[in-house]
Structure 1
Amino acid sequence: MASGAQLSSTSVNATKASPTLPASVYTLPQTTQLEALYTIIRDKDTSRGDFIFYSDRIIRLLVEEGLNHLPVVPKTVETPTGVQYDGVGFEGKICGVSILRAGEAMEQGLREVCRSVRIGKILIQRDEETTLPKLFYSKLPQDIAKRYVLLLDPMLATGGSAMKAVEVIMDHGVPEDRIIFINLISAPEGLKNFCTRYPALKVITGWIDEGLNDRAYIIPGLGDFGERRYCS
């Protein structure tokens, strides 16, 4: 990765999601350890401190896997033993964009593996008159059009906010296929909506839940991520 984003080398190797879901969707390996982490953060009796600690563990895995989907180029280096090693280097620069406010919780996980990474912010809320997502605020790196973008938001329910955020990013000159959307929990309905609109954009999710209830809440879900992280 060029200046402004030095990356760690850890990766967890995401797997393709169910064949019934879009081809652009990847999930973390559904191991018993990962399920144990999700069980903790889903539990309504989990303390705020534990919720933060264990959700941060999942976020770190997701960010690492998002980076694993960035393109690389051949790179040869000389090791301390004086031998040449033919490896790879990251191509281009990256930045993160968090969807406020819950997406801010994922920023630290990105900073832990990408040194000096630039991070933008987008605030999207529902317009009470139209019931559609509406942009209220955005602050993005000036050179975002030249970067790969990791879009950060913990929950994907209907997909409305995420689709609006991608629209904003693309309006700033970022091609669809240079955006990777990272989230902890997705609803199948939201994934289908999102990927139908943006088929060239990759989605890295930790877990795909059963679906949405009549209030558009993810089931079984984990409640309001932002409330549990910042207010419990």
Structure 2
Amino acid sequence: MSRFHIIEHPLIAHKMSVLRDKETKTPLFRQTLREVAYLMTFAVTQHLDMVAVRIETPLEVADCHQLKAPNPCLVSILRAGNGLTEALLNILPEASVGHLGMARNDETLKPEKYYTKLPNDISARQVILADPMLATAGSTIAAIDILRDHGVKDIVFMCLLAAPEGGERLRKAHPDVPIFTAALDRQLNEKGYILPGLGDAGDRIYGT
């Protein structure tokens, strides 16, 4: 799949096994998810625009680079996406944060929008869209459609797990949006859940 990036690293692989384990309790699941997000951040943010700046160090003047203003925006697909965006904020505190509420209808498997809150100047920002699971891709495609409607041109999507079906649907709907994931799983089941997967990420993050 074009522009589909599986971030492979021994530490990510190890921590993903912790997330997949049904015996992993909520506190450890939440902590491990944050750690995987930290490890993914280097690849996910590789595209961010920079500007040259001249800094005066204690010894001399140095030519450096900083993030271009306005700073990036992290957009969470509620509620599970918060687990990733909160981790990214620890590394990218300059970022603004947006939220898109998407609930999947368990009968139709289609997303239902219930909340949108984005920065007023989001059209001028690079956006990292986050949701732990790329299953059917319905919520992700709908979220990107909303961002496009707000004038956003530069979007990267970040997830922990992706199903081939969702990856292909997203690629066809938005071929210019790179996908970064920690793992590509086998398939979806009849209810639209990723196999082997890790269960419902939101429930496991928040203990519900």
- On whether the aligned pair clears a TM of 0.5, the verdict is yes
Matched AA of 1:221: G
Is 1:155–1:185's contact at 8 Å kept on the other side of the alignment? yes
Matches within 5 A, 1:100-119: 100-119=78-97
State the number of aligned residues.
207
Q: Which runs of 5+ in 1 are unaligned?
A: 1-20
Show the 5 A alignment for 1:38-187: 38-82=16-60, 84-85=62-63, 87-92=64-69, 93-126=71-104, 132-175=110-153, 178-187=154-163
| In structure 2, distance between residues paired with 1:52 and 1:128 | 25
Query: What TM-score results when the alignment is normalised by the length of structure 1?
Result: 0.82
1:199 and 2:175 matched: yes
What TM-score do the two structures reach when normalised by structure 2? 0.91
Query: 2: distance between equivalents of 1:138 and 1:160?
Result: 16
Unaligned stretches of 5+ in structure 2? none
Q: CA RMSD in A?
A: 1.9
Confirm whether residue 27 of structure 1 aligns to residue 6 of structure 2.
Answer: yes
Q: Where does residue 17 of structure 1 map in the other structure?
A: none
> Does 1:226 find its partner at 2:205?
no
Contact conserved, 1:64 with 1:113, CA < 8 A, in 2?
Answer: no
Could you give the per-residue CA deviations for residues 165-186 of structure 1, whole angstroms, max 9, x where no partner exists?
00011101111xx111111111
- Corresponding position of 2:192: 216
**Equivalent pairs: percent with the same residue?**
34
Letter paired with 1:49: P
List per-residue Cα deviations over 1:188-210 (Å, max 9, x = no partner).
11111101111111111111111
Amino acid at match of 1:37: K
User: Structure 1 counterpart of 2:66, which letter?
Assistant: G
Distance apart, 1:32 and its partner CA: 2.6
Q: Which runs of at least 4 in structure 1 moved beyond 4 Å after TM superposition?
A: 127-131
Q: Match of 1:68, SS?
A: coil
| CA offset digits 1:6-25 (Å, max 9, x no partner) | xxxxxxxxxxxxxxx22x11
Task: Tell me if structure 2 keeps the 8 A contact 1:149–1:179.
Answer: yes
